[in-house]
């Protein structure tokens, strides 16, 4: 963990303490209470696995704890999330959670079924867990689901409890009634019975969304034949977002199935409104990121070019109409960029003039008249999957109609900066980036190319802001801001 200071926020004076892993280890040892057992687990180590900060509004930190079981000395990991809200919101949320009624009661005014009692879920998790050493993915929780730490004004939640994603603990414990028929239908004709269930977290953004890999083993009663099926579940904070992503995925999958696209997506099975959960088929294959890191240029460059053609096909598709977000795409992009710029200026005040220069140029570019197109909104090398001749695009959460070159700029910024956090050499990263640019702009209107340098500069600022919330970020920020200035001057693209 870096010892360099993180950007200060007067709204959260306790942030420095919350970013100290050793101090937080002691805090958790005092405040995490055993659930259903009297033994106190020894917390041997604490480290920060994710940090999210909205200036003057909210700060969320995900910690991973290394625990030692009393008596046996066995070790296991436990993920916990600490959230601090502005003003008095943290304490009030904690009090509200403690007063929430038991949802199993049918009395009028009770909470909806999605808010199943954590103790009930914990018992189911304990019954399904396997003996032997535990990992983060298969160990049942041994602490109270949440606690309030008054000295830090922090709400602490123990995975899989998440009061904003109530379906998470339900799915970790076993298939809920509304999901079980969908699962059994995947096995075909016969009298199939579920005999084993596993829900593995793939990606978890506390309070926002989580992706679970669901593996079900079932046995057909008459023949005793046993088979396994795998699906993915994505749980959303709001039903509106889940429904929107479901509509987009269904439209794109139907077009791909009819042979009308250069790419496909994970087949949507259903959207469970009561759980705010989208169920999709598994998409097999190898990510573009893995290809770039593990394969030679003879394999990687054709893959990059295929990805560029797929993105061009998406951008030129005038049949798919992305649902409208609450903010028009231009206003949304400007608001996001200005927010990232503010975060960067607080992190590196002396770079303020250069940051402001880039922001002004990008905002001016966005004010030009551009025909919006369907865009992925968050395209990364790990969101592109290859399986033989098939290419799939993953994670459609940010899909909307917007400036198409924003997708290109964001993807290139991630590709060009892969050497900062991986073994990919810088010269190979730029070789792949240039191949992507050449192939993409060979399939779209020529006029789009002129917008790339400015939008690429904005994408670099966005990356710099995201990096500033981690450790060892000072030098990286300066390098990214310098490259953004070079892009504005026409020295990059």
Pair (351, 398) in one structural domain: yes
Pair (269, 349) in one structural domain: no
CB 79 within 8 A of CB 85: no
How many domains would you assign to the chain? Answer: 3
| Mean pLDDT split into 10-residue runs, the chain, 493 residues | 54 89 96 76 92 82 92 88 93 88 43 43 49 43 88 95 93 92 94 94 94 96 95 95 94 86 92 96 96 95 98 87 72 91 88 94 89 94 95 94 96 94 94 98 97 96 84 78 94 92
Pair (168, 155) in one structural domain: no
Q: What is the biggest distance separating any 2 CA atoms in the chain, rounded to whole angstroms?
A: 74
Which pLDDT does position 470 carry in this prediction?
63
Which pLDDT does position 1 carry in this prediction?
42
Which pLDDT does position 446 carry in this prediction?
95
Pair (233, 139) in one structural domain: no
Which pLDDT does position 89 carry in this prediction?
92
CATH number (domain holding residue 366): 3.90.1200.10
CATH number (domain holding residue 201): 3.30.200
Helix axes 474-488, 329-347, angle to 10 degrees: 130
Pair (5, 142) in one structural domain: yes
What does the DSSP 8-state code read for residue 262?
S
Domain that includes residue 139, residue range: 1-101+110-162
Which pLDDT does position 104 carry in this prediction?
39
pLDDT digits (tens, 9 = 90+) for 174-203: 999 999 999 999 999 999 999 999 999 999
Domain end point (choices 263, 282, 301): 282
CB 287 within 8 A of CB 418: no
Which pLDDT does position 2 carry in this prediction?
42
Pair (438, 373) in one structural domain: yes
Pair (267, 293) in one structural domain: no
pLDDT digits (tens, 9 = 90+) for 432-455: 999 999 999 999 999 999 999 999
Secondary structure (3-state) at 38: coil
Domain end point (choices 282, 309, 326): 282
CB 397 within 8 A of CB 375: no
CA distance 26 to 20: 10
Q: What is the pTM of this model?
A: 0.85
Q: With CA atoms as reference, report the closest residue to 378 among 339, 402, 407, 341.
A: 407
Pair (199, 158) in one structural domain: no
Token pair listed for 354 = 């250069």
Residue 211: CB atoms within 10 A of its CB come to 18
Which pLDDT does position 260 carry in this prediction?
66
Pair (125, 246) in one structural domain: no
DSSP code string of 391-434: EEE---TT-EEE-HHHHHHHHHHHHHTGGGTSS--HHHHHHHHH
Pair (220, 141) in one structural domain: no
CB 329 within 8 A of CB 400: yes
Domain end point (choices 282, 299, 330): 282
298: CB partners within 8 A, 6+ apart? none
Q: What DSSP element (H or E) covers 304?
A: helix 297-316
Pair (377, 311) in one structural domain: yes
What does the DSSP 8-state code read for residue 322?
P
Which pLDDT does position 132 carry in this prediction?
38
Which pLDDT does position 133 carry in this prediction?
35
Pair (235, 289) in one structural domain: no
């Amino acid at each position: 963990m870096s010892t360099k200071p993180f950007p200060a926020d007067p709204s959260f004076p306790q942030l420095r303490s919350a970013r100290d892993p050793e101090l937080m280890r002691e805090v958790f040892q005092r405040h995490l209470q055993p659930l259903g057992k009297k033994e106190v687990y020894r917390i041997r180590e604490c480290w920060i696995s994710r940090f999210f900060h909205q200036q003057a509004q909210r700060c969320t930190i995900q910690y991973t704890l290394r625990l030692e079981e009393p008596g046996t000395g066995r070790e296991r990991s436990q993920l916990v999330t600490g959230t601090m809200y502005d003003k008095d919101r943290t304490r009030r949320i904690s009090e509200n959670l403690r007063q929430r009624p038991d949802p199993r009661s049918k009395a009028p005014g009770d909470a909806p079924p999605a808010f199943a009692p954590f103790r009930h879920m914990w018992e189911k998790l304990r019954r399904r867990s396997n003996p032997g050493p535990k990992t983060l993915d298969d160990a049942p929780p041994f602490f109270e689901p949440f606690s309030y730490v008054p000295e830090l004004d922090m709400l602490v939640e123990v995975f899989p409890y998440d009061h904003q994603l109530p379906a998470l603990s339900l799915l970790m414990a076993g298939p809920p009634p509304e999901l079980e028929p969908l699962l059994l239908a995947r096995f075909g004709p016969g009298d199939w019975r579920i005999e084993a269930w596993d829900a593995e977290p793939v990606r978890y953004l506390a309070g926002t969304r989580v992706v679970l890999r669901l593996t079900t083993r079932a046995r057909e009663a008459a023949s005793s034949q046993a088979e396994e099926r795998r699906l993915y579940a994505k749980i959303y904070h709001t039903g509106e977002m889940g429904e929107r992503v479901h509509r987009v995925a269904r439209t794109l999958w139907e077009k791909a199935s009819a042979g009308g696209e250069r790419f496909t997506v994970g087949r949507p099975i259903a959207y469970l409104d009561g759980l705010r959960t989208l169920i999709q088929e598994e998409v097999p294959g190898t990510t573009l990121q893995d290809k770039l890191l593990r394969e030679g240029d003879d394999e990687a460059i054709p893959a990059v070019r295929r990805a560029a053609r797929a993105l061009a096909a998406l951008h030129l598709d005038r049949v798919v109409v992305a649902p409208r977000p609450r903010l028009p795409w231009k206003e949304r992009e400007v608001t996001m960029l200005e927010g990232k710029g503010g975060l960067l200026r607080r992190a590196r005040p002396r770079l303020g003039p250069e940051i402001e220069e880039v922001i002004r140029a990008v905002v001016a570019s966005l004010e030009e008249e551009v025909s919006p197109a369907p865009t992925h909104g968050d395209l990364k090398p790990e969101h592109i999957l290859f399986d033989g001749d098939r290419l799939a695009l993953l994670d459609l959460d940010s899909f909307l109609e917007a400036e198409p070159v924003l997708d290109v700029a964001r993807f290139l910024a991630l590709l060009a900066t892969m050497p900062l956090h991986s073994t990919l050499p810088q010269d190979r990263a730029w070789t792949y980036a240039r191949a992507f640019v050449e192939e993409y702009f060979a399939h779209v209107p020529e006029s789009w190319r002129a917008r790339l340098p400015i939008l690429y500069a904005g994408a670099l600022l966005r990356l710099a802001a995201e990096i500033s919330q981690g450790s060892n970020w000072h030098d990286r920020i300066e390098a990214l801001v310098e490259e953004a200035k070079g892009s504005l001057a026409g020295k990059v693209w």
